[in-house]
Amino acid sequence: MLTNKTALGVIWSFLEQFSRRGISVLVTLLLAYFLTPEDYGLVAMMSLFLALGNALMESGFKQALIRKLNLTDLDINTAFYANILLSAIAYIVLFIAAPFISAYYNEPQLTSLIKIAGLILIFNAFQVVQTAILSKKMEFKALLKANFPAAIISGASAVLLAYLGFGVWALIGQMLLSSLLISAFLWLQSSWRPKMRFCMHSLKEMYNYGYKLFLSSLLDTFYKNIFVMIIAKTFTVSLAGLYFFADRVKELLITQLIISIQTVTFPALSEIQDDSARLKQAYRKIMQVMTFTVFPILLIFAALAAVVFDLLLPDKWLAAVPYLQLMCISCLVIPIISINLNIIKIKGHSGWYLFLEIVKKLTGFIVLFFTYKHGVLAILYGQIASQAVNYYPSVYLSNKLVSYSFVQQMKDFLPNLILSAVVAIFVWYLQTILTLPAFIELIILGLLSLIMFVGGAFVLKLDSLSLTLKMLQNLKNKKRAS
């Protein structure tokens, strides 16, 4: 079940994710006044290669450390030195590949951008072990203390650079400074320090679990970034920038919440990995609370996206509104799939996890092949279709492990989905007929959405509402006790 400690961890992890992604998106809104879609397009072009390098650097060691029940200092040291070595390899490969990537896009300045931005791989290598140690101990408050100041300092620096006319280099500077500061602050928060110890047996043990997650991460990284890569190559840098910008805003909504819950529940529920009945009970509650939280945020934000952009951003970004709306819809199934994948990881079936990633990506690539020539909107409609198709294999395999069937999952999340959709459609309709100033309209429709959703959940007596309120009450009691 979701204990007080786990629930409190979710809150701290949520705040930690907000400092990394939330503040990043807020900074993005400020940068939008000084930068152009072309600047974001250049960053989008190299995002795939940076992400692939980062996946190689991590190679599943963080998850292996968190899951390991009898973790030793030798294991931690082994993982640390492995990550440092892998980061150096990844950077060298990226440095050599930079001119070829630049030639592929026919953008000469990408060469120097990639060579400098690639240093983030070295900085990130010093984060993996410290993050794993703090996560395993459920010390998410310490992660917040590391990430929050780094996000503030790097964000403010990026805005200053953009204001001074540095263009795309403002975004590169933000990435590098954020990574460097997070690494430094993590080492201040953690008491662990490396020793000159390394064990091949420990490396093989962690690698046997982690390499399948690494391959899954590699596929996932390639899949997430291939869309903007295709758009940049097939259409224009500006269009790629609009897509990339919409995707960054979406990250605040979906990734922040999902990673917060997954980050906490993975180490917490790893302790009961051998008790399938308790594991199923815990995940049913997680399913209800997560979808009760994520579904209305995604759908209501999609309904109000035009008002938000009109209020907060220059007109040059309004073309990204339909992209963001479709991205929100395509993300609806992600929290459900993520729960099933988490069950599979906790049960130690990393091979199944890799299989599902292959199926998911293969489906996505097939859909992309038939849609990319028809424009960005067609690509996004294809993403919605492929996500829906990919849900069933994940529930089929997780059901084999903890008997959490498709019908049971539907009972747990469908009421939240239907209620969220009804509220979002109603609010979207009101938004199309109202002619109030954007600020007033956003406040009125936002409050109306909250009242309608919570009120509807109360009238329908949804279990997810009572579970969420109970979790919040437990947090309140724990705060008073401390």
What string of pLDDT tens digits covers the 482 residues of the chain? 444 555 555 555 555 555 555 676 678 778 888 988 999 899 888 988 998 898 888 877 787 787 777 788 888 898 899 899 999 999 999 999 999 999 999 889 999 999 999 999 999 999 988 888 887 776 767 777 888 888 889 999 999 999 999 999 999 999 999 999 999 999 998 888 989 888 888 888 887 777 777 777 777 788 888 888 899 888 888 999 999 889 888 877 676 666 666 655 665 566 666 677 777 888 888 888 888 988 999 999 999 999 999 988 888 899 999 999 999 999 899 888 888 887 887 777 777 877 888 888 889 889 999 999 899 999 999 999 998 998 999 899 888 888 888 999 999 999 999 999 999 999 999 998 988 899 999 999 999 999 999 999 999 999 889 888 877 676 566 556 55
Q: What is the pLDDT of residue 339?
A: 81
User: Does the residue 7 lie in any domain?
Assistant: no
Are 161 and 34 in a shared domain? yes
Are 238 and 93 in a shared domain? yes
Residue 229, phi-psi category: left (phi > 0), alpha (psi -120 to 50), beta (remainder): alpha
Closest CA to 40 of 232, 207, 203, 304: 232
Domain boundary among 217, 250, 283: 250
Are 334 and 290 in a shared domain? yes
User: Does the residue 18 lie in any domain?
Assistant: no
Structure tokens at 192: 């662990």
Amino acid code (one letter) for 98: A
364 in Cβ contact with 356 (< 8 Å): no
pLDDT in tens, 291-327: 898 899 999 999 999 999 998 888 889 999 999 999 9
Are 381 and 461 in a shared domain? yes
In whole angstroms, give the CA distance from residue 320 to residue 389: 26
User: Does the residue 260 lie in any domain?
Assistant: no
Domain boundary among 250, 281, 314: 250
- Quote the crossing angle between the two packed helices 110-117 and 37-58, to the nearest 10°: 40
Structure tokens at 68: 């390991």
Kindly compute the dihedral angle of the four CA atoms of residues 102, 104, 105, 106, in this order, to the nearest 10 degrees: 70
User: Does the residue 5 lie in any domain?
Assistant: no
Are 303 and 201 in a shared domain? no
In whole angstroms, give the CA distance from residue 143 to residue 151: 12
User: Does the residue 20 lie in any domain?
Assistant: no
349: domain range? 272-482
User: Does the residue 394 lie in any domain?
Assistant: yes
Are 173 and 307 in a shared domain? no
In whole angstroms, give the CA distance from residue 49 to residue 114: 9
* Residue that the structure tokens 């250049």 belong to: 42
Query: Long-range pairs for 268-277 at CB < 8 Å and ≥24 separation?
Result: 268/3, 268/5, 268/6, 268/9, 268/138, 269/342, 269/346, 270/66, 270/67, 270/69, 270/346, 273/346, 273/347, 273/348, 276/401, 276/402, 276/403, 277/402
E strand or H helix at 356, and its extent?
helix 350-371
Are 233 and 354 in a shared domain? no
Are 213 and 327 in a shared domain? no
Q: What is the pLDDT of residue 1?
A: 44
Are 34 and 176 in a shared domain? yes
Q: What is the pLDDT of residue 170?
A: 94
Are 242 and 103 in a shared domain? yes
User: Does the residue 44 lie in any domain?
Assistant: yes
Amino acid code (one letter) for 90: A
With 0.85 as the threshold, say if the pTM is over it: no
Are 429 and 311 in a shared domain? yes
User: Does the residue 10 lie in any domain?
Assistant: no
Are 229 and 157 in a shared domain? yes
Q: What is the pLDDT of residue 269?
A: 63
430 in Cβ contact with 384 (< 8 Å): no
Number of domains into which the chain is organized: 2
In whole angstroms, give the CA distance from residue 232 to residue 226: 10
Domain boundary among 250, 280, 314: 250
14 alpha-carbon distance from chain centroid: 12
